[in-house]
Amino acid sequence: MPHLQEILPKLVSSLAARSDRGSVATYIPELAKVDPTKFGIAVATLAGSVVAAGNADELFSIQSISKVFTLALALGKCGDMLWTRVGREPSGNRFNSIVQLEYEKGVPRNPFVNAGALVVTDSLLAGHEPREVIGEILRFVRFLADDDTISVNRAVAASEQSTASRNMALAHYMHSFGNLQHAPQRVLGTYVHHCAIDMNCRQLAAAGLFLAAGGRNPLTGHSVISPLRARRINALMLTCGHYDASGDFAFRVGIPSKSGVGGGILGIVPGVASVAVWSPGLDSSGNSHLGTIALEELVQAMDWSVFAPRAHA
Ligand code: DON
Protein backbone atom coordinates (compact mmCIF):
# COMPACT_ATOMS: atom_id res chain seq x y z
CA MET A 1 0.00 0.00 0.00
CA PRO A 2 1.37 3.46 -0.81
CA HIS A 3 2.33 5.39 2.31
CA LEU A 4 -0.14 7.92 3.67
CA GLN A 5 2.77 9.64 5.44
CA GLU A 6 4.16 10.55 2.02
CA ILE A 7 0.91 11.14 0.15
CA LEU A 8 -0.81 13.54 2.58
CA PRO A 9 1.97 16.20 2.75
CA LYS A 10 2.25 16.10 -1.06
CA LEU A 11 -1.49 16.66 -1.34
CA VAL A 12 -1.27 19.62 1.03
CA SER A 13 1.47 21.31 -0.98
CA SER A 14 -0.10 20.68 -4.38
CA LEU A 15 -3.45 22.05 -3.20
CA ALA A 16 -1.85 25.06 -1.50
CA ALA A 17 -0.59 26.11 -4.92
CA ARG A 18 -4.06 26.26 -6.45
CA SER A 19 -5.87 29.52 -6.93
CA ASP A 20 -9.33 27.98 -7.40
CA ARG A 21 -10.45 27.64 -3.81
CA GLY A 22 -14.25 28.12 -4.08
CA SER A 23 -16.04 30.62 -1.82
CA VAL A 24 -16.69 30.41 1.91
CA ALA A 25 -20.34 30.22 3.00
CA THR A 26 -21.70 33.68 3.79
CA TYR A 27 -25.33 32.94 4.67
CA ILE A 28 -24.10 32.00 8.15
CA PRO A 29 -22.19 35.24 8.92
CA GLU A 30 -19.80 33.60 11.38
CA LEU A 31 -18.60 31.15 8.69
CA ALA A 32 -17.79 34.04 6.33
CA LYS A 33 -14.93 34.99 8.71
CA VAL A 34 -13.01 31.75 8.16
CA ASP A 35 -9.65 31.98 6.34
CA PRO A 36 -10.15 30.35 2.90
CA THR A 37 -6.49 29.32 2.64
CA LYS A 38 -6.83 26.73 5.43
CA PHE A 39 -6.50 23.10 4.44
CA GLY A 40 -6.35 20.04 6.65
CA ILE A 41 -6.60 16.30 6.16
CA ALA A 42 -6.51 13.26 8.45
CA VAL A 43 -6.90 9.55 7.76
CA ALA A 44 -7.75 7.07 10.53
CA THR A 45 -7.20 3.46 9.53
CA LEU A 46 -8.77 0.28 10.82
CA ALA A 47 -5.26 -0.83 11.67
CA GLY A 48 -5.22 1.89 14.33
CA SER A 49 -3.10 4.67 12.89
CA VAL A 50 -4.09 8.31 12.37
CA VAL A 51 -2.05 10.18 9.75
CA ALA A 52 -2.61 13.91 9.29
CA ALA A 53 -1.27 16.88 7.36
CA GLY A 54 -1.86 20.61 6.92
CA ASN A 55 -4.22 22.35 9.37
CA ALA A 56 -5.50 19.01 10.68
CA ASP A 57 -5.50 20.20 14.30
CA GLU A 58 -7.50 23.34 13.69
CA LEU A 59 -11.17 23.40 14.62
CA PHE A 60 -13.85 24.04 12.01
CA SER A 61 -17.65 23.98 11.97
CA ILE A 62 -18.80 20.47 11.00
CA GLN A 63 -22.27 21.73 9.93
CA SER A 64 -24.08 19.08 7.87
CA ILE A 65 -21.55 16.37 8.71
CA SER A 66 -23.33 16.32 12.10
CA LYS A 67 -26.34 14.86 10.25
CA VAL A 68 -24.51 11.52 10.02
CA PHE A 69 -24.22 11.39 13.81
CA THR A 70 -27.81 12.50 14.46
CA LEU A 71 -29.04 9.89 11.96
CA ALA A 72 -27.14 7.14 13.78
CA LEU A 73 -28.66 8.30 17.09
CA ALA A 74 -32.19 8.61 15.68
CA LEU A 75 -32.06 5.13 14.17
CA GLY A 76 -30.97 3.85 17.57
CA LYS A 77 -33.96 5.57 19.14
CA CYS A 78 -36.71 4.96 16.55
CA GLY A 79 -35.40 2.08 14.44
CA ASP A 80 -36.92 1.69 11.00
CA MET A 81 -39.98 3.74 12.03
CA LEU A 82 -37.86 6.75 11.14
CA TRP A 83 -38.29 5.84 7.45
CA THR A 84 -42.01 6.58 7.62
CA ARG A 85 -41.08 10.26 8.09
CA VAL A 86 -38.06 10.68 5.83
CA GLY A 87 -37.09 9.04 2.53
CA ARG A 88 -33.94 7.38 1.28
CA GLU A 89 -33.64 8.82 -2.21
CA PRO A 90 -31.26 11.43 -3.58
CA SER A 91 -33.05 14.74 -3.92
CA GLY A 92 -31.48 16.15 -7.07
CA ASN A 93 -32.08 19.52 -5.41
CA ARG A 94 -30.03 21.91 -3.31
CA PHE A 95 -29.54 21.09 0.37
CA ASN A 96 -32.02 23.76 1.50
CA SER A 97 -34.60 23.34 -1.26
CA ILE A 98 -38.28 23.61 -0.38
CA VAL A 99 -39.80 22.74 -3.76
CA GLN A 100 -40.03 18.94 -3.38
CA LEU A 101 -41.70 19.14 0.02
CA GLU A 102 -45.00 20.27 -1.44
CA TYR A 103 -45.20 17.47 -4.01
CA GLU A 104 -44.16 14.90 -1.45
CA LYS A 105 -46.49 16.08 1.31
CA GLY A 106 -43.94 17.19 3.84
CA VAL A 107 -41.83 13.99 3.74
CA PRO A 108 -38.23 14.99 2.85
CA ARG A 109 -36.31 12.93 0.33
CA ASN A 110 -33.47 11.88 2.65
CA PRO A 111 -31.99 12.56 6.10
CA PHE A 112 -29.15 14.72 4.78
CA VAL A 113 -31.03 17.54 3.04
CA ASN A 114 -31.90 20.20 5.61
CA ALA A 115 -35.59 19.24 5.74
CA GLY A 116 -34.70 15.58 6.38
CA ALA A 117 -32.19 16.48 9.06
CA LEU A 118 -34.81 18.64 10.79
CA VAL A 119 -37.12 15.59 10.94
CA VAL A 120 -34.27 13.51 12.38
CA THR A 121 -33.65 16.18 15.03
CA ASP A 122 -37.39 16.30 15.77
CA SER A 123 -37.35 12.54 16.38
CA LEU A 124 -34.54 12.96 18.92
CA LEU A 125 -36.61 15.56 20.79
CA ALA A 126 -39.37 13.06 21.70
CA GLY A 127 -39.52 13.11 25.50
CA HIS A 128 -36.55 15.50 25.82
CA GLU A 129 -35.73 19.16 26.11
CA PRO A 130 -33.57 20.73 23.36
CA ARG A 131 -30.63 21.18 25.77
CA GLU A 132 -30.78 17.47 26.69
CA VAL A 133 -30.71 16.46 23.02
CA ILE A 134 -27.82 18.83 22.24
CA GLY A 135 -26.00 17.27 25.21
CA GLU A 136 -26.76 13.76 23.99
CA ILE A 137 -25.45 14.50 20.48
CA LEU A 138 -22.31 16.08 21.92
CA ARG A 139 -21.70 13.11 24.25
CA PHE A 140 -22.13 10.74 21.29
CA VAL A 141 -19.59 12.61 19.15
CA ARG A 142 -17.14 12.81 22.08
CA PHE A 143 -17.57 9.07 22.67
CA LEU A 144 -16.96 8.32 18.98
CA ALA A 145 -13.83 10.47 18.79
CA ASP A 146 -12.75 9.57 22.34
CA ASP A 147 -12.26 13.27 22.98
CA ASP A 148 -14.15 15.23 25.64
CA THR A 149 -12.90 18.58 24.42
CA ILE A 150 -15.31 18.60 21.45
CA SER A 151 -17.96 21.29 21.90
CA VAL A 152 -20.59 23.47 20.29
CA ASN A 153 -19.45 26.84 18.96
CA ARG A 154 -22.10 29.12 20.47
CA ALA A 155 -21.21 32.04 18.19
CA VAL A 156 -21.79 29.91 15.08
CA ALA A 157 -25.08 28.57 16.47
CA ALA A 158 -26.31 32.10 17.27
CA SER A 159 -25.15 33.32 13.87
CA GLU A 160 -27.10 30.61 12.04
CA GLN A 161 -30.13 31.11 14.26
CA SER A 162 -30.23 34.79 13.33
CA THR A 163 -30.34 34.07 9.59
CA ALA A 164 -32.36 30.84 9.55
CA SER A 165 -35.55 32.01 7.85
CA ARG A 166 -35.25 29.40 5.16
CA ASN A 167 -34.78 26.45 7.51
CA MET A 168 -37.58 27.90 9.65
CA ALA A 169 -39.80 27.88 6.56
CA LEU A 170 -38.92 24.22 5.93
CA ALA A 171 -39.72 23.36 9.56
CA HIS A 172 -43.06 25.20 9.54
CA TYR A 173 -44.00 23.62 6.24
CA MET A 174 -43.33 20.10 7.52
CA HIS A 175 -45.16 20.96 10.75
CA SER A 176 -48.21 21.85 8.66
CA PHE A 177 -48.16 18.29 7.26
CA GLY A 178 -47.82 16.82 10.75
CA ASN A 179 -44.28 15.61 10.04
CA LEU A 180 -42.72 17.61 12.88
CA GLN A 181 -43.94 16.72 16.34
CA HIS A 182 -42.34 19.65 18.13
CA ALA A 183 -42.54 23.41 17.67
CA PRO A 184 -40.42 24.50 14.67
CA GLN A 185 -38.49 26.93 16.92
CA ARG A 186 -37.38 24.09 19.24
CA VAL A 187 -36.40 21.81 16.39
CA LEU A 188 -34.45 24.55 14.66
CA GLY A 189 -32.73 25.61 17.89
CA THR A 190 -31.52 22.04 18.46
CA TYR A 191 -30.50 21.63 14.81
CA VAL A 192 -28.38 24.80 14.62
CA HIS A 193 -26.53 23.73 17.76
CA HIS A 194 -25.59 20.28 16.44
CA CYS A 195 -24.55 21.86 13.12
CA ALA A 196 -22.35 24.26 15.13
CA ILE A 197 -20.20 21.53 16.67
CA ASP A 198 -16.52 22.33 16.11
CA MET A 199 -14.08 19.53 15.33
CA ASN A 200 -10.69 19.17 13.72
CA CYS A 201 -9.77 16.67 11.00
CA ARG A 202 -8.15 14.23 13.44
CA GLN A 203 -11.22 14.18 15.67
CA LEU A 204 -13.60 13.84 12.74
CA ALA A 205 -11.68 10.99 11.10
CA ALA A 206 -11.64 9.15 14.43
CA ALA A 207 -15.35 9.82 14.99
CA GLY A 208 -16.27 8.41 11.57
CA LEU A 209 -14.18 5.27 11.79
CA PHE A 210 -17.05 3.12 13.12
CA LEU A 211 -18.71 3.47 9.71
CA ALA A 212 -15.66 1.99 7.99
CA ALA A 213 -15.49 -0.85 10.49
CA GLY A 214 -18.97 -2.38 10.50
CA GLY A 215 -20.26 -0.21 13.35
CA ARG A 216 -17.36 -0.67 15.79
CA ASN A 217 -14.62 1.91 16.38
CA PRO A 218 -11.35 -0.04 16.30
CA LEU A 219 -9.42 2.89 17.85
CA THR A 220 -11.52 2.86 21.01
CA GLY A 221 -12.89 -0.70 20.88
CA HIS A 222 -16.40 0.75 21.33
CA SER A 223 -19.29 -0.97 19.59
CA VAL A 224 -21.49 1.81 18.22
CA ILE A 225 -24.16 0.46 15.85
CA SER A 226 -24.91 -2.84 14.11
CA PRO A 227 -23.00 -3.79 10.93
CA LEU A 228 -26.23 -3.60 8.91
CA ARG A 229 -26.95 -0.09 10.13
CA ALA A 230 -23.41 1.03 9.34
CA ARG A 231 -23.77 -0.35 5.82
CA ARG A 232 -27.04 1.48 5.33
CA ILE A 233 -25.71 4.81 6.58
CA ASN A 234 -22.79 4.40 4.17
CA ALA A 235 -25.27 3.77 1.34
CA LEU A 236 -27.10 6.99 2.17
CA MET A 237 -23.83 8.93 2.37
CA LEU A 238 -22.89 7.66 -1.07
CA THR A 239 -26.24 8.43 -2.68
CA CYS A 240 -27.23 11.60 -0.79
CA GLY A 241 -24.20 12.92 1.11
CA HIS A 242 -23.37 15.62 -1.41
CA TYR A 243 -26.94 16.67 -2.24
CA ASP A 244 -27.48 17.38 -5.94
CA ALA A 245 -23.78 16.71 -6.56
CA SER A 246 -23.87 13.19 -5.05
CA GLY A 247 -23.74 11.46 -8.44
CA ASP A 248 -20.76 13.51 -9.55
CA PHE A 249 -19.03 12.87 -6.23
CA ALA A 250 -19.58 9.09 -6.56
CA PHE A 251 -18.18 9.28 -10.11
CA ARG A 252 -15.13 11.29 -9.11
CA VAL A 253 -14.37 9.91 -5.64
CA GLY A 254 -16.42 6.73 -5.23
CA ILE A 255 -16.65 6.43 -1.44
CA PRO A 256 -19.52 7.27 0.97
CA SER A 257 -19.03 10.84 2.15
CA LYS A 258 -20.79 13.68 3.87
CA SER A 259 -20.04 17.34 3.34
CA GLY A 260 -20.73 20.45 5.40
CA VAL A 261 -20.85 24.15 4.54
CA GLY A 262 -17.97 24.73 6.95
CA GLY A 263 -15.86 23.10 4.22
CA GLY A 264 -15.41 19.72 5.85
CA ILE A 265 -15.98 16.33 4.25
CA LEU A 266 -16.04 12.97 6.04
CA GLY A 267 -15.26 10.07 3.69
CA ILE A 268 -15.58 6.38 4.52
CA VAL A 269 -13.50 3.64 2.88
CA PRO A 270 -15.34 0.54 4.13
CA GLY A 271 -13.00 -2.01 5.66
CA VAL A 272 -10.03 0.34 5.38
CA ALA A 273 -10.20 3.89 6.75
CA SER A 274 -12.09 7.07 7.55
CA VAL A 275 -10.91 10.36 6.03
CA ALA A 276 -11.63 13.92 7.17
CA VAL A 277 -10.68 16.82 4.95
CA TRP A 278 -11.25 20.54 5.46
CA SER A 279 -10.98 23.42 3.02
CA PRO A 280 -13.49 26.23 3.66
CA GLY A 281 -14.13 27.34 0.06
CA LEU A 282 -17.27 25.77 -1.42
CA ASP A 283 -18.34 24.91 -4.96
CA SER A 284 -21.70 25.92 -6.43
CA SER A 285 -23.44 22.94 -4.75
CA GLY A 286 -22.21 23.99 -1.30
CA ASN A 287 -19.55 21.27 -0.99
CA SER A 288 -15.85 21.91 -0.31
CA HIS A 289 -14.17 22.59 -3.64
CA LEU A 290 -10.59 21.63 -2.76
CA GLY A 291 -11.80 19.04 -0.25
CA THR A 292 -13.45 17.15 -3.11
CA ILE A 293 -10.32 17.44 -5.26
CA ALA A 294 -8.18 16.24 -2.34
CA LEU A 295 -10.36 13.17 -1.86
CA GLU A 296 -10.33 12.51 -5.59
CA GLU A 297 -6.52 12.55 -5.59
CA LEU A 298 -6.22 10.56 -2.36
CA VAL A 299 -8.47 7.70 -3.48
CA GLN A 300 -6.60 7.48 -6.77
CA ALA A 301 -3.23 7.37 -5.02
CA MET A 302 -4.47 4.74 -2.55
CA ASP A 303 -6.62 2.83 -5.05
CA TRP A 304 -9.64 3.21 -2.76
CA SER A 305 -13.20 2.87 -4.07
CA VAL A 306 -16.35 1.04 -3.13
CA PHE A 307 -16.59 0.20 -6.83
CA ALA A 308 -13.20 -1.57 -6.98
CA PRO A 309 -13.40 -4.53 -4.62
CA ARG A 310 -9.75 -5.51 -5.02
CA ALA A 311 -8.83 -2.32 -3.15
CA HIS A 312 -10.31 -3.79 0.02
CA ALA A 313 -8.69 -7.20 -0.13
O1 DON B 1 -28.82 24.28 7.73
C2 DON B 1 -27.84 24.75 7.18
O3 DON B 1 -27.94 25.44 6.18
C4 DON B 1 -26.48 24.46 7.78
N5 DON B 1 -26.55 24.42 9.21
C6 DON B 1 -25.93 23.17 7.28
C7 DON B 1 -25.92 23.07 5.77
C8 DON B 1 -24.79 22.28 5.24
O9 DON B 1 -23.79 22.08 5.88
C10 DON B 1 -24.88 21.88 3.81
N11 DON B 1 -23.70 21.14 3.41
N12 DON B 1 -22.92 21.24 2.56
Whether residue 153 is found in the same domain as residue 79: yes
Whether residue 92 is found in the same domain as residue 168: yes
Whether residue 69 is found in the same domain as residue 173: yes
Whether residue 68 is found in the same domain as residue 57: no
Is the pLDDT at 310 greater than 90? The verdict is no
In a domain, 220, yes or no: yes
Sign of CA dihedral 80, 144, 139, 89: negative
* 191 in catalytic set: yes
In a domain, 238, yes or no: yes
CATH number at residue 225: 3.40.710.10
**Separation CA 71–CA 142 (nearest Å):** 16
Q: Which residues line ligand 1 (CB under 6 A)?
A: 63-64, 95-96, 114, 160, 167, 195, 259-261, 286-287
Whether residue 252 is found in the same domain as residue 283: yes
Last residue of a domain, one of 195, 225, 260: 195
Q: Which residues contact 37 (CB under 8 A, 6 or more apart)?
A: 16, 21
Whether residue 87 is found in the same domain as residue 178: yes
* 305 in catalytic set: no
Give residue-wise pLDDT tens across range 80-98. 999 999 999 999 888 888 9
Whether residue 115 is found in the same domain as residue 169: yes
Whether residue 170 is found in the same domain as residue 75: yes
Give residue-wise pLDDT tens across range 194-230. 999 999 999 999 999 999 999 999 988 899 999 999 9
Give residue-wise pLDDT tens across range 122-154. 999 999 999 999 999 999 999 999 999 999 999
CA-derived radius of gyration, the chain? 18
In a domain, 39, yes or no: yes
Q: Are 202 and 42 in contact (CB under 8 A)?
A: yes
In a domain, 111, yes or no: yes
Last residue of a domain, one of 195, 213, 237: 195
Which atom number of ligand 1 is nearest to the Cα of residue 160? 5
Domain span at 74:
64-195
* SS3 call for 257: strand
Q: Are 211 and 232 in contact (CB under 8 A)?
A: no
Q: Report the side by side order of strands in the sheet with 273-278.
A: 50-54, 40-45, 273-278, 264-269, 257-259
Last residue of a domain, one of 141, 175, 195: 195
In a domain, 92, yes or no: yes
Whether residue 98 is found in the same domain as residue 157: yes
Tell me how many domains the chain contains.
2
pLDDT-derived band at 155 (thresholds 50, 70, 90) equals: very high
Atom 7 in ligand 1: which residue has the minimum CA distance? 64
In a domain, 312, yes or no: no
